[in-house]
Amino acid sequence: MMYTVAELAKLINGEVEGDPNVEITGIAKIEEACPGEMTFLANPQYERFLETTQASAIIISNDQKASGKTVIRVPDPYLSFAELLGVFYPPEKAPDPGIDSSAHVSENAKIGKNCCIGANVVIGSDSSLGKNVIIYPNAFIGDHVVIGDDTTLHAGVSVRYGVRIGSRVTIQNNSVVGSAGFGFAPKETGDYEKIPQVGNVIIEDDVEIGAGCTIDRATLGATRIEKGVKLDNLIQVAHNVVIGKNTVIAAQTGISGSTEIGERCMIGGQVGFVGHIKLGNGSMVGAQSGVPKSFGDGSKISGSPAKPHREELLIQVMQKKLTDFYKRLDLLEKQIEEYQKKGNER
């Protein structure tokens, strides 16, 4: 598959500087690209490769200095790169519609048109699949589950009783949706009474869930993942959590019960949220933060315990100086002792 730079620029509404007739056969990383390939520059850390890259063309921002090579200028190089990846590397072909002979589909389950149900899939009683749904091998769908159109469940996914999944949702391998929430009431005897988790999970349209995620059903009501949310791998979402529209969360983050994450938030990896707090819309949370309390709209927080990002940066700077401060304090104390000693001798 080959395109000219001019053809690619048209696809991403970019402006060409240099030779528009250069032919491109693929996309590669800026430090690894070969002649005939296109690359992009979105992170200033890679700017040093502009002069040395072997790429035949580079996608850069409107205000980026050119390197003398053929470039396509766009407002957002990373977004344009993502768009062109789909041109050179189309999604894998969907399996043919049909139900594998080894699958077990309940007699009263409703299966929409053009669905593909793979080997060893189990679909429970009174569950409903929309049209064009793909269920890869060894997935489990419990009773009374509803799945919308054009949704894909990869191999090993488990969707438990009563879960509702919208349209155009993707769930990667071995994620579990609708497992029992972590609820135990302490008793006077020192042991625990398990609290029945009788709610469900609602996943709205256009959500993507990575591999190995666990999303617990609510104690009462619903655990809700709103439209457009993107979850990385190995994320724990506890009972009654709400994640607002178009929020993105990186790997190994854990969200405790009844916490509400606002819309359009960006959360780094390995973040921990305590329960029963709220994070406002449009907030950003740095990686490995421990969030112990609520924060309002537009918050930028980091650290453990999490605090405003600027405050955390100041603390980190001061921590690096502690050894020097200690040495200076120790010297001052010795000087004061000497001064006092001389004063007493008089």
- Which residues are part of the catalytic machinery? 239
186 CB-contact burial (10 Å; exposed 0-12 / middle 13-18 / buried 19+): exposed
Alpha-carbon distance values, 9 to 6, 17, 47, 259 (Å): 5, 10, 21, 44
Structure tokens at 284: 């950003």
Ramachandran quadrant class, 150 (left: phi over 0; alpha: psi -120 to 50; beta: rest): left
| H or E segment and range at residue 320 | helix 309-320
Structure tokens at 60: 């850069």
> In the Cβ-directed half-sphere of 106, how many Cα atoms lie within 13 Å?
16
Answer whether 99's CB lies under 8 Å from 78's CB: no
Q: What contacts 24+ positions apart, CB below 8 Å, involve 82-88?
A: 83/11, 83/12, 84/8, 84/11, 84/12, 84/27, 84/38, 84/59, 85/27, 87/3, 87/8, 87/11, 88/1, 88/26, 88/27
Backbone φ and ψ for 331, nearest 5 degrees, come out as -65, -45
Answer whether 240's CB lies under 8 Å from 223's CB: yes
Those residues whose C-beta lies under 8 Å from the C-beta of residue 143, and which sit 6 or more positions away, are 106, 124, 125, 126, 127, 161, 162
Distance separating alpha carbons of residues 40 and 21, to the nearest angstrom: 18
Residue reference for tokens 């707090």: 277
